Amino acid sequence: MTSRFGGVTIEVAVGDITKLASTPSSTRQHLAPRGGGDGAIHRAAGPDLAIDARMLKGYKTGAAKITKGFKLPARYVIHASPGVERRRQR
């Protein structure tokens, strides 16, 4: 499904993110492989993705960094975190 919002086109794809030729994203700020979609991306890409991700030394909320896709069909993985920070209640 493709939709346009102003000057932006957004395409929604349903399927296994590790099989898409588009760039998947990982949402863990510390860039270490875990479960869910992030873990699936790391498992499919192979151990070199975790090595590359560790070299990036994490990133701040709302920021993004990029690594190679390694064994994924995508050339790159964009590691991005939602721009929402959790704050402790006082």
Residues of the chain with pLDDT under 50: none
Burial class of residue 12 (count of CB atoms within 10 Å of its CB; 0-12, 13-18, 19+): exposed
Q: Given this model, what pLDDT does residue 24 score? A: 65
Report, at the CATH architecture level, how domain 15-80 is classified.
3-Layer(aba) Sandwich (3.40)
Structural contact between residues 16 and 74, judged by C-beta atoms closer than 8 angstroms: no
Task: Please state the pTM of the whole predicted model.
Answer: 0.68
- Ranges of each domain in the chain: 15-80
Quote the pLDDT of residue 27.
60
